[in-house]
Chains A and B, each alone.
Chain A
Amino acid sequence: MLGASGLTAANGAFGVIAVGSVPNIFTPASTPADQIYKLALFVLVITGVIFLVVGGLLAYSLVKFRRRPNDDGREPGQIYGSTQIELAWTVIPMLIVLVLFLTTARVIHGIEDAQAPEHALDVTVVGHQFWWEFRYPQYGVVTANELHVPVSDPSSPSPTYLTLLSADVAHSFWVPQLAGKTDVIPNHVNHTWIDPQQPGVYLGQCAMYCGTQHAHMLLRVYVDSRADFDRWIHEQQQPAADDPDVAAGRKIFEVTACVNCHSLRETIADGRFGPDLTHLMSRTTLGAGSMPNTPDGLQRWIENAGAIKPGCQMPAMDLSPQELAELVAYLETLR
C-alpha cells in the first residue's frame, strides 16, 4: 500500500502553483472574515487571561507546595472543601460564558442573517469530486475553479451571494481571507456571502474530506475592479472560438467521449460531469489548482489526468500523439 519512491520534495507536478499568498485567517479582506477576526481577538484575549490566571495558579502551587527535602513526614492539614470558594468558581465562569455567548450570538446573526442588497452578484457554486463549478445566472456564464467577483466598495457595497450545491458528496467552501467555511452538501442548499474590499487573488480549498483527491480541490477567487470584472463577464459571454486552422482538433474533440463529460458552447458538448471548457484558456490553472494552465501542461493533462492528479474523475483518453497535438491546439484557441 505504500507508494514506491519515498520522500521527494517539490517534484514539479504541482510545484509552481501557489500564488504566494498565505490564506491566513487573521488577514481578513472581506466583512464576514473581518467580523470573525474581531470576535476571534476578543475570545483570544478572554481565554488568554483565563490561561494566565489558572496556569499561573497551577505553576505557583507546584512550586509552593512541593514536598521539601527536609520534610517532617507528617501529613499536611486535610481540607475537604469550601462552599464559598466553590460558589465563586462556579459563578465567575458563568458570567464569562454569558458575555462570550452574547458576543458570539451577535456575530452569528450579523453574518448568517445578512440580507442581500438588490445589486448583489449571485453565483451558484457546485461542488464536484474534485473541482468547483461556478455559475452566474444573471449573466449566463459558467466557469470552473476560478471565481471572479467585483471588488466591493464599503461606501456602496456590492457583495457576492453564493448558493452552494453539491453534485455528489459533501464538500466545504473555504476562502479563509474572505469568509469562514460553509459546507456544500448534496440535497441541502446552503448560502454564504463575501464582499472583498481589496482587488487580488485569494486562495481557498475544499475543507471537507470528499474522497481521494480532496487535497487537490483548490479554488481561487479573483477580486477584480468593477471595470475588469465587467470585461471578464463580457469575454465569458462570447461564443467559443471557432478557428478554422484547428478544425481537425475540434473534430477530434467532438467525436471523443470528451463531449459526454464537458460542455463547450456552440458544439455538441453539453456534459456537466467535468468543467465547462468554453473559455478554458481564460483560466490560469488546470485540475482545480493542480497545475498551471500551459500548453505542455494541457497536453499532459489530457494524455493522462490521473498521472497528475491520481484518483481524479477524468479518465486517460488514449489518443495518438497526433490527435493529442491537434486537440490541444484546438483547446488552446478557447480564450
Chain B
Amino acid sequence: MVSQSLPQVGALGSERARQKPWTERAHEWVVTVDHKKLGLMYIFYALVFLVIGGVEATLMRIQLAVPNAHFVSPEAFNELFTMHGTTMIFFVAMPILFGFANYLVPLMIGAQDMAFPRLNAFSFWMTAFGGLLLYFSFIGGSGVYGAGSAPSVGWWAYAPLTAKAFSPGHSTDYWTLALLVSGIGSIGAGVNLVATVLCMRCRGMTLGKMPLLAWLNLVMGGMVLAGISPLTAAQLMLCVDRYLGGHFFDTQAGGSAVMWMHFFWVFGHPEVYILVIPAFAFASEIIPVFSRKAIFGYPVMVAATVAIAFVSFSVWAHHMFAVGLPSYGNAFFVLTSMVVGVPTGIKIFNWLGTMWGGKIIFATPMLFCIGFLFQFLIGGLTGIMLAAAPFDWQLNDSYFIVAHFHYIIVGGILFTIFAAFYYWYPKFIGRLMDERLGKWHFWLFLIGFHLTFDFMHIPGILGMPRRIYTYEPGRGWGIWNLIVTFGVAFQVAAMLVFVVNLVRSYYKGKPAGNDPWDAWTLEWSTSSPPPEYNFAVPPVVKSRRPLWDLKHPEDPDWQYE
C-alpha cells in the first residue's frame, strides 16, 4: 500500500506576478491555459451575465407588478424573457459551474492542471463569444424597422415561431449561433472534465477514493457530451431551414413542429441535471465539513448520481405532456419522471444522514446549503406534482411552472453556488469573505426568494399563463404578482451586499491561510491561492479525506474504506 505524503507548499509565483505592469498581467489572462485562471474567468464572466440577466428579470417583474402596466412594450417584454432565460441557463449557470469545476477538480484530485489545457482555453473563449454573439443582436439583429432587436422566441424557441415567416430579421439567427458556438465550448469543457478525472488523479486516488465533487463533475461532463449534441444538431437544422430553404421544422411545407420539441427537450431535461449535479457536488463537500462528519453513504451517493444521469435521458417528454402524445407514451414518461425522483430523494436523505449526529456550524456556506436542502425538497415535490401528467396539463406553461423551476434553479442551484463562493473564495483569493455581510446576504436573499417564488405558485393555480406581458385587473392575479415583485427588491439588495462583499474582501478580507475551514480534501493542503502548478510535489493519498488522515493519525479514514 502506498504511504501518504502531502507537501505543504508556499505561494511560489504569485507575489512576483503582482509587480508586473497591468498590460502584461492582462495579456497573461488572455493567453492563459492555466485551469485556475480560466476557472476564475468563467466565474467572473458568469457573474457579469448574472447581473444582466437579473436586470432583465427585474424589468419583467416591474411590468407585471400591477395589471395593464405600460412599463415595457409587448415586444420588449418578449425579448426580455427570451434573453433572461437564455442568458441565465447558457451564460450564467453553465459557465459558473464550469468555472468552479475547472478550478477545483484538478486541485481536488491532486493534478497540476486539466488534461487538455489548450482545449480548456478554447472552450472558455467559445463560451464567451457565444454570450457576446447573443447580446450583439441588440445592435446587429435587424428587426422589422432595421434597428437592432433581440430574439423573442422564448428560450425553447419552439418551431415554427422561429421560421423566417414568423421571426424575420436576424435576431433569431444570433440566438441560434450563440447557442451553437457556446455549445461547442461546453462540449470541449465536458471532454476535458471527463479526461481529467479519468486520467489525471494523483497516486493512491482510485475512483472510489475521489472526493464526491470529482465524481459528480465526471458525471456532469459525460452528460454534457450526450446532452449538448442534440441541441447542436437542432440548431444546425434550424439554420438550414432559415437560410438554405430546408423544411425540417417548416410546418407550412410539411415539416414537423413536434420534432423540434423532441430535439430541444432531449437536450433540455438533461440540461437541468447538468446544472444541478455540480450543485449537488458543492453541497456534498460543504455539508460534511460544517457538520464535522464524513459524507454518509458515499458509494450510494455515487450510484444515485449515475442513476440520475442515465434516467434523466429518458424523461424529456414530461415537458410535452400537453402536446398530445398517446396515453401509453404519456404514462411511460410519468413513470420515468417519478423514478428519477428516487435517487434524488436518496441524496437528500444522505445529506440528512451526514448532518445527523454531527456538530453543525452555521457559517455562511452552510446556511446557503441548508437553504438549498429545504428549497430543493420543495422544488422536488412540486416536480412530482408536474410528473403526474394530468396535473401537469393544468400547471404546465402557467406561473406554477415558472415558480417550480426557479425553486430548483435559484433556490437549489444558485444557493449552492453562493455557498461555493463563501467556501472556496478564500482558496481562490487568499482572503476570507466577510461573515457579517455574508449573513446579511443570506437572510436578505432568503426572504426575497420566498416572497418571490412561493407566491408565484398561486397565480399559476388561478390560471395565469407564463410569458404574458400583462393581464387584466379582476382576474385575481394582481395581489400575488405585487408580492412577487416586492420580493425582487430584497433579492436585488442581497445581490448588492454580495458584490460589495466580493470586492471588499479582495482587499480587506481576513487572510485565509491554507485551510480556514479545517477541511479534509486536497485543495486545502496547498497555499491560498495555490501556486502555478498547484502542488510542488504530487500528493499521494490513501483515503477520501487525506487531510483528515493527516490530522487524525490515531483514527484515519483508510481503516474504514
Most chain A CB neighbours (cut-off 10 Å) among B338, B374, B394, B555: B394
- Taking the complex as formed, is B463 at the interface, i.e. its CB lies under 8 A from any CB of chain A? yes
| Contact B74–A67 (Cβ < 8 Å) | no
A101 to B337, CA, bound (A): 10
A89 to B444, CA, bound (A): 34
Q: Taking A8-B70, A104-B389 as contacts, is the C-beta distance between A187 and B296 under 8 angstroms?
A: no
Closest chain B CB from A304 CB (angstroms): 16
Chain B residues with a Cβ closer than 8 Å to the other chain, count: 109
| Contact A3–B560 (Cβ < 8 Å) | no
A80 to B476, CA, bound (A): 52
Residues in chain B near residue A185, CB distance under 8 A: 257-258, 323-324
| Contact A43–B384 (Cβ < 8 Å) | yes
A111 to B377, CA, bound (A): 30
Q: Taking A7-B71, A97-B339 as contacts, is the C-beta distance between A105 and B324 under 8 angstroms?
A: no
Q: CB-nearest residue of chain A relative to B257?
A: A185
- Taking the complex as formed, is A36 at the interface, i.e. its CB lies under 8 A from any CB of chain B? yes
What sequence of 0s and 1s flags, for each residue 315-328 of chain B, a beta carbon within 8 Å of any chain A beta carbon? 00000001110110
| Contact A2–B353 (Cβ < 8 Å) | no
Q: CB-nearest residue of chain A relative to B320?
A: A183
- Taking the complex as formed, is B65 at the interface, i.e. its CB lies under 8 A from any CB of chain A? yes
| Contact A79–B293 (Cβ < 8 Å) | yes
- Taking the complex as formed, is A141 at the interface, i.e. its CB lies under 8 A from any CB of chain B? no
- Taking the complex as formed, is A269 at the interface, i.e. its CB lies under 8 A from any CB of chain B? no
| Contact A10–B473 (Cβ < 8 Å) | yes
Chain A residues with a Cβ closer than 8 Å to the other chain, count: 103
Secondary structure class of chain A's binding surface, majority of residues = mixed
Most chain A CB neighbours (cut-off 10 Å) among B293, B352, B390, B473: B390
| Contact A112–B355 (Cβ < 8 Å) | no
Interfacial residues of chain A within 39-74, with CB under 8 A of chain B in the complex: 39-40, 43-44, 46-47, 50-51, 54-55, 57-58, 61-62, 65-67, 71
Closest chain A CB from B245 CB (angstroms): 18
| Contact A75–B552 (Cβ < 8 Å) | yes
A211 to B341, CA, bound (A): 34
Q: Taking A14-B472, A58-B377, A89-B345 as contacts, is the C-beta distance between A76 and B359 under 8 angstroms?
A: yes
What sequence of 0s and 1s flags, for each residue 39-73 of chain B, a beta carbon within 8 Å of any chain A beta carbon? 00000000000000000000100100111111111
| Contact B322–A113 (Cβ < 8 Å) | no
Q: Taking A80-B560, A185-B324, A207-B397 as contacts, is the C-beta distance between A39 and B473 under 8 angstroms?
A: no
Q: Taking A67-B361, A185-B323 as contacts, is the C-beta distance between A11 and B388 under 8 angstroms?
A: no
Residues in chain B near residue A232, CB distance under 8 A: none
Closest 3 CB pairs of A and B: A180-B393, A23-B463, A18-B474
Chain B: residues with CB nearer than 8 A to chain A?
A: 59, 62, 65-76, 78-79, 150, 152, 154, 158-161, 166, 251-252, 254-258, 291-294, 296-300, 322-324, 326-327, 330-331, 334-335, 338-339, 341-342, 345-346, 348-350, 352-353, 355-362, 370, 373-374, 377-378, 381-382, 384-385, 387-398, 461-463, 465-476, 552, 555, 557, 560-561
24 contacts between A and B (CB under 8 A): A1-B73, A3-B70, A8-B68, A13-B68, A18-B472, A20-B474, A40-B388, A47-B381, A51-B381, A61-B360, A71-B359, A76-B293, A79-B357, A89-B346, A108-B334, A109-B331, A169-B158, A179-B393, A191-B324, A205-B463, A205-B465, A207-B397, A209-B78, A214-B468
